[in-house]
A and B are shown apart, each in its own frame.
Chain A
Amino acid sequence: MTVTVNGREQPVVPGETVESLLEGLGLGAKYALVERNGEPVERERYGDTALADGDTLVVARPVAGG
């Protein structure tokens, strides 16, 4: 199955969660902010939010700004 992360298609295995996806992307969970299908995902739920085929994710984080 496939999800879209920041506009890029990403193959994922069944059972993949937000947390394991972040790990696979080399992000860890530290200050990774995640939106799934337009809804923000609570940090406490990263580990038990399972991804579904066709999900669209936005992964963001704090960046320099004023």
Chain B
Amino acid sequence: MNDALVIGGRELRSRLITGTGKYSSPEVMRDSVIASECELVTVAVGRIDLDSVGEVITDYLPEGVTLLPNTAGSATAEEAVRIARLARAGGLPDWIKLEVIPDPRYLLPDPIGTLEAAEQLVAEGFTVLPYVLPDPVLQKRLESVGCAAVMPLASPIGSGRGLKLRHAIEIMIEQAEVPVIVDAGLGAPSQAAECLEMGADGVLVNTAIARADDPAAMANAFRLAVEAGRSARLAGLIEERETAEPSSPLGGLATRS
């Protein structure tokens, strides 16, 4: 059965997207990306320190993965558009994970700036995946300007708190016309499974893998959890009940009248 995730006309076998940040070394990052079996990995765009040119992270990525540049560091729509244009002109993919984040404490995205930048970038031919607060109304606006997916946060970036905003994300899933990828705040594979079970199309995970004691093993655990959650979604979960429903006959050998 073909259960590919389709974003912007492209079929992805993996519903797990991983980030490349916060790893102890690029080698550990590489091993984790391989273990995750993801096809899309996020990168940021940063100025090169001319006094210490160092290594390019992309040299460590395994063959076959596609870069998803983000606009991290943008506090305004203009800054995000500038980064996207620079990335594409320089040969990076024209897919962009759009982040407009004016708030350094909770790293919550600016919905108005995000919508403005999304509209501009779609008009310029980018495939735009905006990072958003779980807002079903904003989701509809972003779909209407042509975004290829929407990426609601589960809880603040790097917090590991899991699906704190579950109800709003459920509404987004129910009314989605483009894929919903839960991005940020997932701390455990069980939380990723929960996202897929409730119908999210995919998840993006970075900190929970990169900061684990054994990142490659955790990447594998997230891979399995995403597959399990998706399989469960397709299999059909039972309805919750208030009271018990026996799995075995209640009679036993006793005679009750």
Contact = CB atoms under 8 A, between A and B. Distances in A.
Interface of A: 5-6, 8, 25-27, 30-35, 40-43, 58-66
Contact of B90 (A5, A8, A26, A40): A40
Contact of B86 (A8, A33, A63, A64): A33
Give the most central of B45, B48, B56, B85: most A CB within 10 Å.
B48
Given A60-B90, A64-B21, 6 more contacts: A31-B91, A32-B90, A33-B92, A35-B86, A58-B47, A65-B46
Contacts, number: 105
A26 B49 CA distance: 12
Interface in B29-68: 29, 42-50, 53, 56-58, 67
Contacts of A40: 85-86, 88-90
A66 B22 contact: yes
A43 B90 contact: yes
Nearest to B73: A65
A40 to B, nearest CB: 4
